[in-house]
Structures are given as C-alpha cells and as structure tokens.
Amino acid sequence: MKAPCQRFWGDKMFHIRNFKKLSEVLGDRMIKYIKKITILILGLFLTLIIRVLKIFNIFFIEYPNAFGHQALNLEYYGRKIQSSGIKKPRIIVFKDKKTLFANYALYLHHKHSGIRFVQNSLIVKLLVIGMTFQKEMRKKGYMVDAFMQTDMASLQTDKQVHTKSNIFLPFNSHLLSRFGQVLDSMSLNRFEYFLFQDRNLGYHSNRNTANNFYHMGRVEDAKDFSLASIQMDKVGVKTVRFGSESPPILFDSCIIDYPNIYRDRYGDVADIALMHGCKFFAGPNSGLMFFAHSLNKPVLFCNAYPWPWMHIPMRKNSVSMPKKLWLIDEKRMMTISEMIQMESAFYYKKLLYEESFFDSLRIEVVNNTAEEINASVLEINQRIDGEWSGHDYLLSDLLSGHIGHDSCSVLSTAFAEMNPDILGKYYIG
C-alpha cells in the first residue's frame, strides 16, 4: 500500500499530465482557430485590393502546375478579357515556388510575352492566401471573382473563347526560328504531320495513380495508331507520337517515336514546336489536348471518357468519338442518348471514375479499335483539306441542351457508320 505522500504526489502528477494534454488540445484548436481568422481577414482584405485593381485592367492569375493548364489557362483568360473589350490587359501571375514549371520553355514564352511574374516570396504567399480564400468562398456558393478563375466546364466549352481566331500570346520570331530548326532536324514540314498521344500507364506509374480507374480510363495503346500511320504516310502526312515517359515502339509502323528519340535532345521547346507545326492532334482526355486547344489546333478526341462532358472540342474540323459502353446483361452497346442521360445524372461525379460503379451497373467500358481510329484519322484529315463529302453529325445537334451543345465540331462519321446502333435515332445510313 502506497504511503499518503506517494498517493498525494501521484494524484498531483496525474492531474498535471491531464492538464498538459488538455492544454495541448486547446492550444492546437486555438492555433487552428487563429489561422482561420487570419486567413479570413487577409482573404477579405486581399480580395478588396485585387477587385479594385481590376478596375484599372490589372488582373491576377495563379500560374498552373500541370502542362495542359499552363498552356490553356493563360490563353483562355487573355482571350476572355479581350472579348470584354479590354485590348491591353496587364496580367500578373503568381505561383507556389515549391513546384517546378511543367514546361520551362512555355514559362519563358509567357514571361517574354508581357506576362508579369511576382517574384517576392512574401507577396506570393499573400496572393496564395487570397486565392485560397476565393476558392473556399466559391465552394460555399459565394461568387467571389477578384482573381481570374473559372470552372473546368467553362474552360473547355466557352465557344466565344475557343473559336476566337487570334492567339492571345503569339510566339515571337526567335521562337518561330527555333521551332523551324527542331522540325528540320526531325525531317518534318509544318502541317505535314499529325501528333497523337497514347497516354500509357507509365505516365502515372510514379504518381500513385496507376491503379486509379479515372487514369486507366484514359489509357490508349500506340499500336492502335499503327494502321493510321501507314495509311496517312500514303497521303504524305507523317505520324508523330507525342508526350513523355512512353515505352519504346517495338512494332512495325510509320510512327516517329518522339519521346524516346528526340525529346531529351531538344528539351521542352520541342514540345511547343511540334504542337505549333502539326496539322492536328489526336488523343484521349489529357493536358496535351488543352495544349492543342490553346493553339487553335483541330482535335481528334479518341476514347472520349466520360462522354460527352469531358474536353469537348469546340472548333470546326474537330472530331470526337466516345468509348463504347457494353451492357453485359442486354448484350448491346449503350446508345449515345443513354450515355448522355447517364452522364447527366452523375455529372462530374467520382462514380464515373470508379470501376466498381460500372461493375454494379453491369457495364463494360470498351476502347476505340485501331480500325475506328484509322478511319477517323483519315476523316479529320479530309475535313481539314476540304475534301470531306460525308454526312456531318454535329455535336450541337447530338448534345442539344447539354454541356458543349454549341460546339462547332462533329461526332466521327466513320465511328457512327461502324457503330450505327450506338447512334440510334440519329443515324443516317
């Protein structure tokens, strides 16, 4: 049995330890509370300042980290501002210095085009706080618009911006000369080749997303473009595999394997040179499609998924074809009308990116075939050359009342003819 003094000091130590724990909990809560209050006050203050500066045609934009957004966001914002009647806006960008530039050559182009970058680390931190405040307010339903910001749907489907001919940030003569040197070294002539992206699993192997169904759903195989490369070579148009971190091509084709042969030789500037000089771009949902949009390039949207909302090409001569959805129990493909109904019901929901969701509905996601891709590549090439004489399945008709319904682009007629049941009532045989 413990002595009275032992019991006394034991009880005291017990209370002291509990008090310390309580103090730590209360201290952590107090710190979090103070941080929230600080961000709220600073956010409101910065919002007012940035809002006033907009009156003087000074706009603040957060510089994106992903390549596609790095290319499209500034171009989109610039065109959007100009469409409101402001001819020479002053655009100031800021970026968390912890992250690297997705494409350094593109960053230099933006910098030399008159875009002003905030260099002071303290000011950058304050602007990040302001942008964070705006994002949080928008989540709560308050339309705070101090900083330039848009939702994904507007970024992808704003017809006024995407069909505007003039590029907001054109390349200077020095860069255009560099582009020519890159193309010459690859034996390529401007507008006499097209780019495709196969977006293989290697891209996300080191990003903890290799097993994510959303990314799995965007995978294509370079072999699916092999047939198209042979056919396009016959009409004088070369095929260039675009992107990075792709395994070497080990099969017979006419494909120029840019990621494995040329990219390390020229660096980031070659990415811009190839997109600038290409005739059109083909590929799945990806940042490179954003890049193509930023330069007004016709796009063949292969394996569109989820369809139709994701990355709808807006410009004339662009072509789309969705992944097919096989109804296992009914032993048939889902029609386009059914795809739209399903997508409308689950618009931008994570369910559309979960394999278990499709398993529960007894639906199998089927990629576009090499034959479909080949026929659609030939089709978009004919459309660009003004040689197309087939039927046009306008997305504005197919998607009436839905996101992207005012697009100037079409569903692949070749895809429709190869899959008439999918088109349903819209098919014209």
Residue 397 belongs to some domain of the structure: yes
| DSSP-assigned letter for residue 170 | P
As a whole number, mean pLDDT of residues 67-96 equals 88
- Higher per-residue confidence, 183 vs 96: 183
For residues 191 and 115, state if they share a domain.
no
**Amino acid sitting at position 341:** Q
pLDDT at 352: 61
For residues 245 and 124, state if they share a domain.
no
Per DSSP, helices labelled H in 202-302 are 213-216, 226-234, 258-261, 263-266, 268-277, 287-294
pLDDT at 216: 46
d(CA 403, CA 309): 6
Per-residue pLDDT for 201 more than 60? no
C-beta neighbour count of 288 within 10 angstroms: 24
pLDDT digits (tens, 9 = 90+) for 37-54: 777 888 888 889 999 999
- Higher per-residue confidence, 291 vs 6: 291
d(CA 341, CA 325): 13
Question: Cα 256 vs. chain centroid, distance in angstroms?
Answer: 24
For residues 198 and 341, state if they share a domain.
yes
Residue 296 belongs to some domain of the structure: yes
For residues 18 and 138, state if they share a domain.
yes
- The domain boundary, picked from 96, 131, 162, lies at 162
| DSSP-assigned letter for residue 400 | T
Residue 6 belongs to some domain of the structure: no
**Phi and psi at residue 63, in whole multiples of 5°?**
-75, 125
- Higher per-residue confidence, 182 vs 156: 182
User: What is the count of structural domains for the chain?
Assistant: 2
For residues 267 and 414, state if they share a domain.
yes
For residues 135 and 157, state if they share a domain.
yes
- The domain boundary, picked from 111, 134, 162, lies at 162
Residue 227 belongs to some domain of the structure: yes
For residues 103 and 197, state if they share a domain.
no
Residue 232 belongs to some domain of the structure: yes
Residue 351 belongs to some domain of the structure: yes
Per-residue pLDDT for 18 more than 60? no
Pick from 9-13, 167-171, 277-281, 391-395: least confident: 9-13
Residue 272 belongs to some domain of the structure: yes
- Averaged pLDDT score across all residues of the chain: 83
For residues 270 and 348, state if they share a domain.
yes
For residues 194 and 157, state if they share a domain.
no
**Phi and psi at residue 62, in whole multiples of 5°?**
-80, 125
pTM: 0.84
For residues 272 and 342, state if they share a domain.
yes
Dihedral sign of CA atoms 31, 33, 35, 38 in order:
negative
Which residue range is the domain that position 72 belongs to? 12-162
Residue 87 belongs to some domain of the structure: yes
- The domain boundary, picked from 115, 137, 162, lies at 162
As a whole number, mean pLDDT of residues 232-242 equals 96
pLDDT at 185: 94
Per-residue pLDDT for 84 more than 50? yes
Residue 3 banded pLDDT, cuts 50, 70, 90: low
pLDDT digits (tens, 9 = 90+) for 206-230: 444 444 444 445 556 788 999 999 9
For residues 128 and 178, state if they share a domain.
no
For residues 321 and 390, state if they share a domain.
yes
